[in-house]
Amino acid sequence: MRNSRVCQSSCEKQKTPRPSPVLITMILVSTLLALVLNPTCAGQTENLLYTFDGTPGTPSGSLTQGRDGRLYGTTHIVSDSNGSIFAVATDGTFTDIHEFVDTYHDGYDPRGGLTLATNGKLYGVAYYGGGSCGQGTLFSIDLTKTFAVVQEFCGTLTGGPSYPPIEGSDGNLYGTSWAGGTQGKGLFYRYSRSGIDAPLFEFDSAHGKLPDGLLQGADGNYYAVAEQEGSHRCGTIVKFTSSGTLLHYYSFACGSRGAYPSGPLVQASDGNFYGVTYQGGDTSSPDGLGYGTIFKLTQDGRVSTVHALNGNSDGSYPVDGLVAATDGKLYGITQGRNGSIFRVGLDGTYSVVYNFASDIGSIPAARLVQHTNGKFYGATLYGGPLGYGTIYSLDMGLDAFITFVRPTGKVGQNLDILGQGLSGATSVTFNGVPATSFSVVSDTYMTAVVPANATTGPVAVVAPTGTFTSNVNFRVSH
């Protein structure tokens, strides 16, 4: 895509009406940059640009929606900064939450973003520092900016954590470390209320090296990709029980079959799992390594290529997984050239919806997140007027919805619901069964008790501003 100045002169020559534009908005710390992405440029505007200046670092990892509707993220270590935690509202208002100054205690260089847990706290990991071992920390922070180190990576839990843990259906936190284990290839671990348990699984050459973030599937098991090694030395997919028992693993065969998977898997509406490989696919590339693939893992363990990127119109080198959106499509990012955002259907239909320009951000840092207002948000590592990255949003015209902090629970348990326009809500239904008890805490957060006779399916909230349906099914466990 072209920037607005070039595109505007082209659009002035067009005589026929055009469809509604796709809007990409660059939220740059405290101001809003709106970019219309329709190649016809209808209605395109460009606002004043503001960017990270490097003082709190450069953006790293995905953004996470909090109970207050803001998006929370982390910055890498840059220059004299040890990294930070920040919040940005959907109107672009930016707030520094915490800076990693006490590197001996807090750790430093937080990576991968943050995870919202059902206790209202955000959890993340610092790659370095923390106590005498210096192998990183697991930390928490709440909306009052109270920061705490909950565990140091040391001893049997060796470190190098690069993705925040996720909250499992049992209420424990599960995560991976890149360089943990006796072989330094990575660990799968659990953090319980009483502290870190013994590491659940230690990666080795056969099962992969450098595991990325986790996903808990609808089957209750945990899925991860390891970026390197495996049988063909091109990375793996691994599947575990909550106790760390290895159920299945797949080694990428390199070449046309894909190489070097990146980022967490996502489970789509068809029940299958999807992800990306950084290389592989089109081996006719000049280096013969390919431009990356999008792949599918079926529930019975079969892996196939959904789309192989061509390095030109498709972009190249997809990273950090995919997000399953409310339109039934999967969205992701590439880092070739300045980077791009793409959309792919479960049938493999592929299109690039935006190509980044360096003056508004380049090299997207992590996978997109879809906010409950319907828009996508993400960050770039570089670009912007000062070159230290930006935060952006992509508006595809999708409707607002509700989502869950944890998409599973038992009858009688409280369900945490995120959304917008929730004030004055009059009903909550679980797959058509009314909840007899719910509480609206704020316009962006409410709770509801899972009613008797509830079954797995969508949750709907009726509020004065409309009826909002969940983006995923809530799973009723027994």
* pLDDT at res. 182: 84
Residue 177 lies in a domain: no
Residues 418 and 373 reside in one and the same domain: no
Residues 366 and 427 reside in one and the same domain: no
Maximum average pLDDT range among 27-36, 44-53, 101-110, 236-245: 236-245
**What's the CA gap between 379 and 377, in Å, rounded?**
7
Residues 2 and 87 reside in one and the same domain: yes
Residue 462 lies in a domain: yes
Residues 15 and 95 reside in one and the same domain: yes
- Is the distance from CB of 265 to CB of 275 less than 8 angstroms? yes
Residue 229 lies in a domain: no
- What's the whole-number mean pLDDT along residues 454-460? 97
Last residue of a domain, one of 379, 399, 419: 399
Count how many Cα atoms sit within 13 Å of the Cα of residue 356 in the half-sphere of its side chain.
34
Cα end-to-end span (Å), the chain: 50
* pLDDT at res. 262: 96
User: Which tens digits make up the pLDDT trace of 66-94?
Assistant: 999 999 999 988 767 899 999 999 988 99
Residue 298 lies in a domain: no
Residue 29 lies in a domain: yes
* pLDDT at res. 196: 73
Domain count of the chain? 2
Residues 456 and 374 reside in one and the same domain: no
Asked whether residue 323 carries a pLDDT value surpassing 90, the answer given is: yes
Residues 412 and 380 reside in one and the same domain: no
User: Which tens digits make up the pLDDT trace of 196-244?
Assistant: 777 899 999 999 999 999 999 999 999 999 999 999 999 999 999 999 9
**DSSP strand pairing (445-449 vs 414-418):** antiparallel
Residues 379 and 447 reside in one and the same domain: no
Residue 275 lies in a domain: no
- What's the whole-number mean pLDDT along residues 104-132? 93
**What's the CA gap between 329 and 469, in Å, rounded?**
17
Last residue of a domain, one of 366, 399, 432: 399
Residues 7 and 80 reside in one and the same domain: yes
- What's the whole-number mean pLDDT along residues 403-418? 96
| Rg (alpha carbons) of the chain, rounded to whole number | 22
**For the domain that residue 431 is a member of, what is the CATH number?**
2.60.40.10
Residues 457 and 380 reside in one and the same domain: no
Assign 56 a pLDDT band (cuts: 50, 70, 90): confident
Last residue of a domain, one of 372, 399, 426: 399
Residue 290 lies in a domain: no
**What's the CA gap between 281 and 144, in Å, rounded?**
47
**What's the CA gap between 358 and 342, in Å, rounded?**
18
User: Which tens digits make up the pLDDT trace of 153-177?
Assistant: 887 777 788 899 999 999 999 999 9
* pLDDT at res. 80: 73
Q: Which residues constitute the domain of residue 8?
A: 1-100+357-399
**With the CA atoms of 121, 148, 193 and 154 taken in that order, what torsion angle do they form, in degrees rounded to the nearest 10?**
130
Residues 412 and 391 reside in one and the same domain: no
Residues 473 and 386 reside in one and the same domain: no
Asked whether residue 336 carries a pLDDT value surpassing 50, the answer given is: yes
Residue 206 lies in a domain: no
Asked whether residue 39 carries a pLDDT value surpassing 70, the answer given is: no
* pLDDT at res. 50: 41
Residues 378 and 468 reside in one and the same domain: no
**What's the CA gap between 20 and 36, in Å, rounded?**
10
Asked whether residue 25 carries a pLDDT value surpassing 70, the answer given is: no
CA 72 centroid distance within chain: 12
Q: For the residues of 78-131, what is the DSSP string, one character each?
A: BTTB--EEEEE-TT--EEEEEE---HHHH-EEEEEEEEE-TTS-EEEEEEEBST
Enumerate residues 6+ apart whose C-beta is below 8 A from 16. none
